Chains A and B, each alone.
Chain A
């Protein structure tokens, strides 16, 4: 495979990559150590070596606990002027229709108390149905689709709801280890009602056979938290002769109290 210019830490093709078996053993070792602990970890380990790119990029000091100041208890405001009417339909951004399985992904953005995050920005980006990003650094040999960019935006409704129409992204290879494949996913960028609730994550599809082999998915050690990043198929969201439907609710962190 060609090396990718301009990207630090991408192993050159001469570097021997770890085998899938070696990565699986590392994943199992860390997971085993976690199961014996008691405190649930709701987010991925920052220091998670099976994901090789984290080695030189994760902080080694613990995150430093502090009380949020006023600016951190608030969040940027987005409005109708920020988002176009077709931004949430990724299948109508070009002259023709994109290749692939048409889907709708919908759900609500909530805080940990279950309160809806209303009127807030949600951004999504993804590979096309063949597993190729339009990004210049994606060298995967799958085809680009001239009718698909793979980026969308919307504002949540009063009940925290969002909805995107798109095509199901394909899995794609990456160079973390030998024969590494990412499970199909859609990247989500979420704003809460406080700066401290900012979240970027990935939504996966139910039953993906690649989950067990993927260190990014497995970096979330707690099983119940891991289930949170997998959407469910929802036949009520599917539409006659139009698309299949997936439901995925997003829960951002606790809303900070004003006088804590």
Chain B
């Protein structure tokens, strides 16, 4: 069957898609909570204040959660999924757990006015041996996929365009 094409999220999702607790996969006071945050920047390095970021990740042991409740969080269940709109400075921020695994990463989806179709990328934790994707990239592109870790914060800026443009991914075999 022919796929349904994507269309831009547009500028007017703010009253609809964000919800209370959307970006708190764990409460910020959780003993293992990390802040996963960054800027979304356009080709001129200007902040994008109307982007929506979603993340999907395994838990600290590397297991896929498969638990409902992301839209009405109970404060205890780790669902592995969250959503954050960028603020007026172009910053998004999540409270979550470090993902587990051999080359752990947080899967990231980017939506914005001006983006006609969503973008996928990965935010890898630093300090692990590179996996197949990272190994296949030249150094200047590889580093766009690795978060900076400092204490309990993981920083991952998303550059939509330009010299240090983030690597965006496709998983299918089509012309997407």
Partner-B contacts on A (CB < 8 A): 6-9, 39-46, 48, 51, 53-61, 63-72, 74-83, 110, 112-114, 121, 123, 125, 127, 133-138, 149-151, 153, 185, 187, 189, 195-196, 198-202, 216-217, 219-220, 224-226, 228-229, 250-254, 256
How far is B73's CA from A67's CA once the two chains are assembled, in angstroms? 31
Task: List 9 contacting pairs A-B, 8 Å CB cutoff, sorted by A.
Answer: A7-B50, A8-B46, A54-B116, A56-B43, A77-B79, A79-B69, A114-B1, A137-B14, A198-B109
Task: Write the chain A residue with the least CB distance to B44.
Answer: A56
- Which of B2-10, B28-36, B148-156 is near enough to bind chain A? B2-10
The reply to whether A137 and B11 form a contact with Cβ atoms under 8 Å apart is: yes
CB contact list, B64-81 vs A, under 8 A: 64-72, 79-81
Residue from A45, A65, A200 whose CB has the most chain B CB atoms within 10 Å: A200
In this complex, the interface size class of chain B, counting residues with CB under 8 Å from chain A, is 35 or more
The reply to whether A200 and B64 form a contact with Cβ atoms under 8 Å apart is: no
For the A-B complex, the count of residue pairs with Cβ-Cβ distances under 8 Å equals 255
Partner-A contacts on B (CB < 8 A): 1-17, 42-44, 46-50, 54, 56-58, 64-72, 79-81, 88, 99, 105, 107, 109, 111-120, 131-133, 136-137, 160-162, 165-176
The reply to whether A63 and B161 form a contact with Cβ atoms under 8 Å apart is: no
* Known contacts A8-B49, A70-B64, A198-B54; is-contact A82 B172 (Cβ 8 Å): no
How far is B171's CA from A60's CA once the two chains are assembled, in angstroms? 18
Q: Which residues of A contact B46 (CB under 8 A)?
A: 8-9, 56
Closest 5 CB pairs of A and B: A79-B68, A57-B114, A53-B114, A125-B16, A76-B81
Task: Other than A41-B175, A44-B116, A199-B4, give 19 A-B pairs with Cβ distance below 8 A.
Answer: A7-B11, A43-B176, A46-B117, A48-B116, A54-B114, A57-B48, A57-B161, A60-B43, A71-B58, A76-B70, A79-B69, A82-B71, A151-B16, A198-B118, A200-B111, A201-B7, A225-B3, A251-B4, A254-B173
